[in-house]
Structure 1
Amino acid sequence: MKTENEPVKQVVEEKAKTKTVSLPTNKIEEQVESKKGITDVIAEQQTKVYTIYTESGQGSGFLMNQKGDIVTNAQVVEGYFSAIVKNSDGSEYGGQVIGYFKNTDIAIIRVPELAGKEPMALETSNQTLIGEEVIALGSPHGLENTAT
């Protein structure tokens, strides 16, 4: 004998089954893809970031153009005419300090062997917003090729 509640019970059971089958996995997949994307970006850009050595210490810089010019901080090369520049695969090159400006803490090192290499793309038209994700690549505190 059927009761009036029988069809309602069946619909509730079907909805419960549907909910357990269709759990949202898109968020997990998006997070994995996002992390993979960041890893790819770091791997690609790390080849354009260099560790710079002078007699008094080290710093880091990036390839800014196809002439082989590397931008670094003035404090890294201040008082020097040359520096050793090391890339992420361990190759070392001699570089000439083209100039530096202490007020803005900027310096340029020219490395002829890097002429023709693809420089790091710079975004100058958009302003980074507070809370937006950014990646810092470099060689801080005696470490080489870090990403934060």
Structure 2
Amino acid sequence: MRFFEAARVARACVLAGLDAAACAFVDRQCTIALTMQPWSRVRGRVDGWILLADPALAAEREREAAGARTMIVAGFKDGHCDIWGRVGAADGLDLDQALGAIAKTLPTDTPLQHRRAAAVGVLARQALGHTELPRTAQIIVVSAIPPAWAM
């Protein structure tokens, strides 16, 4: 292994909290894989070997990470908004596949990433039982402070 490859693997092992025996397992897997494949293919497998090296620790890290799950929809501006979240791996993979499948059904006159963004709306409308969202929206702001003319 070249130094930068070894350093990347070592850092991943340290961040995962692996003990020496588990690190040695990951090192052996990398050594074997690098005899047959280039680093570009091996690096994508390191995280999986870290999980295999200490399944109990991986399960504990997963339980801890579950507390960080969140989904935020904010930043409404110019008819668009931002969506950010952290979800479970299985949910993330399912969402990714669903967005890709829906995007394939949309008109191809826009880039794939635009169609994937539009697929979020399709999913939302299907969940709510709507066929289409209104094209215009009215936002009503209610204030607890009475207007000056009401005083």
TM-score between the two structures when normalised by the length of structure 1: 0.18
More RCO (CA 8 Å, sep 6+): 1
Q: Which has the higher helix share?
A: 2
Larger radius of gyration: 1
TM-score between the two structures when normalised by the length of structure 2: 0.17
